[in-house]
């Protein structure tokens, strides 16, 4: 585990919000059977978790700016630091009682993501990294998988949502990657998709139309775990492009080749 003041601030804030999210997740199961469903309740749970994160982070670092999924951007007096916060990544899973969701908090310093925390409260899995200090899952150091052949690789993707993203482009990419990869998954939480590549559970991942709060924490965790990361077209800045492709050096290269081929 990383013991630094900033990591303590981040993990404390995340654990506090996680208690609220986990309680609400328990309620969601009861609401499934109601005719209205748990939709409004989940939106409230999402906002509650964001408020807890915001309060804790502002209390600990009053000057830092915030980029939050629910509340939007809040400028700070300290222009060199910003939090990127997704209080509930994997909302659809949460809504359906599937325990694949997480809180994601990344810290940007001078335009670079320098620390990240991704936490799944149901499995009690905490992925953390700080630039130059390695990446960890709970107390264990993590590394990207060493698999080198696409035919052996478990690849994760993100499907564009109804009314969002470029569906024809995605279908072309899916067709090409599906024909080359050992297996393909859509797990439903971009933050955990990044974290899973970092710890070697999956081998590669790509997705388009993502936001900074989906990506920030995962990017530093991936890099500290030895992964290669770019945007989905091979560009150097996933945050600016709003897309990502990652894996170990070989599979990242292979995945980009496939995506390029699909978009020819
Ligand atoms: C979504 C999830 C999903 C991804 C979407 C994201 P949300 O975030 O990360 O896996 O495919 O693009 O918007 O809405 O659950 O926070
Ligand atoms: Ca969210
Ligand atoms: Ca998200």
* pLDDT of res. 42: 82
Residue scoring higher pLDDT (163 or 181):
181
**Residue 99 neighbours by CB under 8 Å, 6+ apart:** 25, 93, 120, 122, 123
* pLDDT of res. 75: 97
Boundary residue ending a domain (72, 107, 141): 141
Choice from 89, 159, 170, 242 to test ligand 1 binding pocket (greatest atom count within 8 A of CB): 89
Boundary residue ending a domain (141, 169, 189): 141
Report which protein residue has its CA nearest ligand 1's atom 13. 210
- Among 1-5, 38-42, 197-201, 212-216, the minimum mean pLDDT is found in 38-42
Q: Say whether both 55 and 183 belong to one domain.
A: no
| For the chain, percent of residues with pLDDT exceeding 90 | 89
Does 33 have pLDDT greater than 70?
no
Number of domains, the chain: 2
Choice from 157, 213, 214, 238 to test ligand 1 binding pocket (greatest atom count within 8 A of CB): 214
Q: Say whether both 16 and 121 belong to one domain.
A: yes
Q: Say whether both 28 and 117 belong to one domain.
A: yes
> What is the CATH classification number for the domain harbouring 230?
3.40.190.80
DSSP string, 15-83: HHHHHHHHHHHHHHHHHTTSSS-SHHHHHHHHHHHHHHHHHHHHHHSTTEEEEETTTEEE--SEEEEEE
pLDDT band at 38 (very low <50, low <70, confident <90, very high): confident
The Å distance, Cα 210 to ligand 3 centre, comes to 8
Boundary residue ending a domain (78, 109, 141): 141
Q: Which domain holds residue 219?
A: 150-262
Does 1 have pLDDT greater than 90?
no
Residue 49 exposed, middle or buried by CB count within 10 Å (0-12, 13-18, 19+): buried
pLDDT band at 2 (very low <50, low <70, confident <90, very high): confident
> What is the CATH classification number for the domain harbouring 78?
3.30.540.10
Q: Say whether both 117 and 37 belong to one domain.
A: yes
In the predicted model, what is the mean pLDDT of the chain? 96
The Å distance, Cα 203 to ligand 2 centre, comes to 24
Q: Say whether both 102 and 185 belong to one domain.
A: no
Residue scoring higher pLDDT (41 or 170):
170
The Å distance, Cα 93 to ligand 1 centre, comes to 10
Q: Say whether both 163 and 201 belong to one domain.
A: yes
Q: Say whether both 161 and 116 belong to one domain.
A: no
Ligand closest to 156 (CA) is 1
Q: Say whether both 76 and 185 belong to one domain.
A: no
From residue 216, how far is each of 150, 203, 240 by CA, in Å? 26, 19, 11
* pLDDT of res. 29: 77
Choice from 50, 189, 193 to test ligand 1 binding pocket (greatest atom count within 8 A of CB): 189
The Å distance, Cα 12 to ligand 2 centre, comes to 19
pTM score, whole prediction: 0.97
Q: Say whether both 235 and 254 belong to one domain.
A: yes
The Å distance, Cα 76 to ligand 3 centre, comes to 23
Structure tokens at 239: 């945050």
Separation between Cα atoms, residue 23 and residue 39, nearest integer Å: 16
Q: Say whether both 136 and 209 belong to one domain.
A: no
Q: Say whether both 123 and 157 belong to one domain.
A: no
pLDDT tens profile 96-148: 999 999 999 999 999 999 999 999 999 999 999 999 999 999 999 999 999 99
Cβ atoms of 133 and 2 within 8 Å: the answer is: yes
Q: Say whether both 57 and 126 belong to one domain.
A: yes
Q: Which atom of ligand 1 approaches the CA of 90 most closely?
A: 15
pLDDT band at 21 (very low <50, low <70, confident <90, very high): very high
The tokens 């910003």 sit on which residue?
82
Pocket of ligand 1 (CB under 6 A): 86, 88-91, 158, 188-190, 207, 209-210, 214
């Amino acid at each position: 585990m990383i013991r630094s003041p900033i990591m303590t601030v981040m993990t404390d804030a995340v654990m506090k919000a996680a208690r609220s999210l986990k309680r609400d997740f328990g309620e969601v199961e009861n609401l499934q059977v109601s005719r209205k469903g748990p939709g409004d309740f989940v939106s409230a749970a999402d906002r509650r978790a964001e408020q807890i994160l915001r309060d804790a982070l502002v209390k600990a670092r009053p000057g830092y700016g915030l980029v939050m999924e629910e509340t939007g951007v809040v400028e700070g007096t300290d222009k060199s630091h910003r939090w990127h916060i997704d209080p509930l990544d994997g909302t659809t899973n949460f809504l359906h009682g599937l325990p694949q969701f997480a809180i994601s908090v990344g810290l940007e310093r001078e335009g670079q993501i320098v620390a990240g925390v991704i936490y799944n409260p149901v499995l009690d899995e905490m992925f953390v990294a700080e630039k130059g200090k390695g990446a960890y899952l709970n107390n264990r150091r993590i590394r990207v998988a060493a698999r080198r052949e696409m035919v052996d690789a478990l690849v994760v993707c993100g499907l564009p949502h109804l009314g969002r993203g470029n569906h024809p482009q995605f279908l072309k990419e899916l067709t090409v990657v599906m024909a080359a990869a050992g297996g393909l998954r859509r797990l439903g939480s971009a933050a955990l998709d990044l974290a899973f590549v970092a710890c070697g559970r999956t081998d590669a991942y790509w997705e388009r139309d993502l936001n900074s709060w989906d990506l920030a924490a995962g990017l530093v965790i991936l890099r500290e775990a030895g992964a290669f990361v770019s945007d989905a077209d091979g560009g150097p800045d996933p945050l600016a492009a709003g897309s990502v492709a990652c894996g170990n050096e070989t599979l990242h290269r292979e995945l980009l080749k496939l995506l390029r081929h699909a978009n020819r």
